[in-house]
Amino acid sequence: MGPEPAQSRERHMQSMSFDPAVADIGSQVVNNAFQGLQAGAVAWVSLSSLLPAGAEEVSAWAVTAFTTAATGLLALNQAAQEELRKAGEVFTAIARMYSDADVRAAACLLEAIPRPGQTLARE
């Protein structure tokens, strides 16, 4: 193999900026997850009050089968909504960290700018 192209040997600084919209998206994901959890809670109330259509064994079996299946689906829904909530919180936290770092960096740069009448130290 020949020598590597110059581009592949050079290391370029990657931008550390983060789109502020990510924090908003993270908040929206969290809100949607909470709405999903609330909808699941409402569905659970309806599900737990389900009665057989009649006194025969088939109606009782149908309610039991439906309740069992629905309970499993509601548990899956709850787990999914919890994962969405966690992901939204992570997006928001990461955006906050980047924003905080940007503020600290800007403050450091502003401190380095000489004030009117201030002289720079000479070496």
Give the Cα-Cα-Cα angle 41, 46, 50 (nearest 5 degrees).
140
What mean pLDDT is predicted for residues 26-38? 96
Query: Is residue 63 exposed (0-12), middle (13-18) or buried (19+ Cβ within 10 Å)?
Result: middle
* Confidence at residue 105, expressed as pLDDT on a 0 to 100 scale: 86
d(CA 29, CA 80): 12
User: The tokens 């908040």 sit on which residue?
Assistant: 27
Domain limits, the chain: 19-112
Where does the pLDDT of residue 47 fall: very low under 50, low under 70, confident under 90, or very high at 90 and above? confident
What mean pLDDT is predicted for residues 102-117? 85
Q: Is the dihedral of CA 5, 9, 13, 16 positive or negative?
A: positive
Q: Is pLDDT above 80 for 6?
A: no
CATH class of 19-112: mainly alpha
**Joined tokens for residue 60:** 């009782």
